[in-house]
Structure 1
Amino acid sequence: MLSQTAKILDGKALAQKIQRNLKEEIQTLQPKIGRPPGLAVLMVGDNPGSVVYVRNKEKSCAKVGIASFGRHFPTQTGADELEEVIAELNQDSRVDGILIQLPLPEHLDAIALLHQIKPEKDADGLHPMNMGRLVRGEAGLRSCTPAGVMALLSEYNLQVKGKQAVVVGRSILVGKPMALMLLEENATVTIAHSRSQNLAAITRGADILVAAVGKPDLITAEMVKPGAVVIDVGMNRVVDAQGNGRLVGDVDYAGVAQVAEYITPVPGGIGPMTVAMLLQNTVHSYRQSINHL
């Protein structure tokens, strides 16, 4: 096999740096506010991926000094009960951020529940009010995964302005806000998706290529422009013939690493950045609470 040429964008290292900064900020603010920041993660059911994510989020909270007000509900929990809990957390002055861990069981409407969260406590940046602020280029809480991508590009001083950016995927969680954030930094943005024709021709034009579809190894070396920056948001669990599971992204890492100039690994790329941005959003809301003292 040829040696890898692409430089790695280390999300894990940057996430640790952000967490250290947040920890210091919390230590400065806590005497003024009189309490630590609080994050409530609501999880329904026992999706194995969600269990791991929630555990990581709670560990990261503890590391920086954020109090966790997490609640775990049985799969069959109804919307009424969840709405009641959200209403209580909206009023709870100890809680700065509320997050609903997705995906939810099929009988629940995630969008309707997200609408119940106060926009200023929307730690995931998915409330229509915060999405609207992003569209208008106004300050507000930003969707965590695309915000993590932007922070990583900035950390490595990778120019976005004037570049051709292609986002593969159009979800409200990643694809759409990602395109808007790149646009805000003056990239020329194309969104590709499952109905796009000749995907390879679109992706080959990208100076910055973001893959956020949830399909293992969708992006191969011949779909990437030499010298491109490739950001892999995919987190797919694949099982080999021996029954061993591992995490892979949407990008064929081994192949693409020989064409791209920069690449994010999976795991250790965007995953840790998503959690860091969640903590950052929570601390942002906490900081605002000084104004209400």
Structure 2
Amino acid sequence: MAADVIDGTAFARGLTKDLTEQVAGLAERGVVPQLAVILVGEDPASQTYVRSKIRAARSIGIRSVEHRLDAATTQGDLLSLIDRLNADAETDGILIQLPLPPQINIAQVIRAIDPAKDVDGFHPTNVGQRVTGSGGIVPCTPKGVMLLIGSVAANVEGLDALVIGASNIVGKPMADLLLAAGCTVTTAHIKTVGLPDICRRADIVVVAVGKAGLVKADWIKPGAIVIDVGINRAISPCGKSSLVGDVAFNEAVEVAGAITPVPGGVGPMTIACLMINTVQAALERRGIVIASALIATR
């Protein structure tokens, strides 16, 4: 029997509908969350991502301010802009679109952002709070993945989970969240010896390595939940370009119990969770607590 295909687009649409209603309620109280998006350079993919994020913010009622900087921007100039945004009382969230040009030290830039405005959840303070279970802003993609897993499995306690990929953006925080949910977690990567056999034992597989079709059907335990975070551009024999994931979807869908497609799986959830994080930051900065299944305020 073919797997249930998890529709991330529809799920994200439901989240943003609920969030739009909450933002409208905040606006009646005089609170309008504001997101500052910084784009350095003219990378076409980055420009597309930024447009999508700004469009999503505005559709929800979040005020978005775009800061476009030249590819030759210095580290000092970028840090000066971040300092101004940190001090700006109207700015609730700061997003740095990655990748950055080679002259920019990414780690230093991330550390420069006020943790309370770090809507990507990459600042060491937020990382530490997440790892210790004491709060913090959760990175958008892993947060979205957990919501998708929860849509097909109400309780994952005791399940074997495999995360293929160990980046600071997806792999490492993903493993932390699965562990916090009660899973037995294995973290692997593209060079892991015996990766297919490790994968065959997993009840949950999250793949984020950027290698098209890495995970084959015979890697997957029958009935497993498979979440494909990979986005790769493939060229067909006739020269047509398309987006594909890290999982060989057409064959894996016949084995898995539930699986995300690419596109239309994790991607829309990442943007939806960025919006959730921005609203969370706006509430926490003002000491506002609301009853919400979407937003975890302290």
TM-score, length basis structure 1:
0.95
What is the total number of aligned residue pairs between the two structures? 288
- Report SS of the residue matched to 2:104: coil
- Superposition pairs of residues 1-293 of structure 1, within 5 angstroms: 5-32=2-29, 34-291=30-287
Hey, what's the Cα distance between the residues in 2 that align with 1:257 and 1:156? 15
C-alpha contact (below 8 Å) 1:35/1:94 kept by paired residues: no
Hey, what's the Cα distance between the residues in 1 that align with 2:233 and 2:74? 29
In structure 1, the gaps of 5 or more residues are none
AA matched with 2:245: G
After TM superposition, where is structure 1 displaced by more than 6 Å over at least 4 residues in a row? none
- Residue by residue over 1:182-239, the C-alpha shift from the partner in whole angstroms, topping out at 9 and shown as x without a partner, is 0000100000113310110111111000000001000010111111000000011122
- Report SS of the residue matched to 1:69: strand
C-alpha contact (below 8 Å) 2:116/2:285 kept by paired residues: no
Give, in angstroms, the shift of residue 72 of structure 1. 1.4
Give, in angstroms, the shift of residue 44 of structure 1. 1.1
C-alpha contact (below 8 Å) 2:152/2:258 kept by paired residues: no
C-alpha contact (below 8 Å) 1:29/1:287 kept by paired residues: no
Give, in angstroms, the shift of residue 13 of structure 1. 1.0
Give, in angstroms, the shift of residue 181 of structure 1. 0.1
Hey, what's the Cα distance between the residues in 2 that align with 1:273 and 1:84? 31
C-alpha contact (below 8 Å) 2:149/2:225 kept by paired residues: no
Give, in angstroms, the shift of residue 280 of structure 1. 0.3
AA matched with 1:8: V
Hey, what's the Cα distance between the residues in 2 that align with 1:35 and 1:29? 5
- Report SS of the residue matched to 1:103: coil
Hey, what's the Cα distance between the residues in 2 that align with 1:205 and 1:59? 41
In structure 2, the gaps of 5 or more residues are 289-298
Give, in angstroms, the shift of residue 35 of structure 1. 4.1
Q: State the percentage of identical aligned residues.
A: 44
Hey, what's the Cα distance between the residues in 2 that align with 1:149 and 1:215? 19
- Report SS of the residue matched to 1:189: strand
Give, in angstroms, the shift of residue 158 of structure 1. 4.2
C-alpha contact (below 8 Å) 2:3/2:253 kept by paired residues: yes
TM-score, length basis structure 2:
0.94
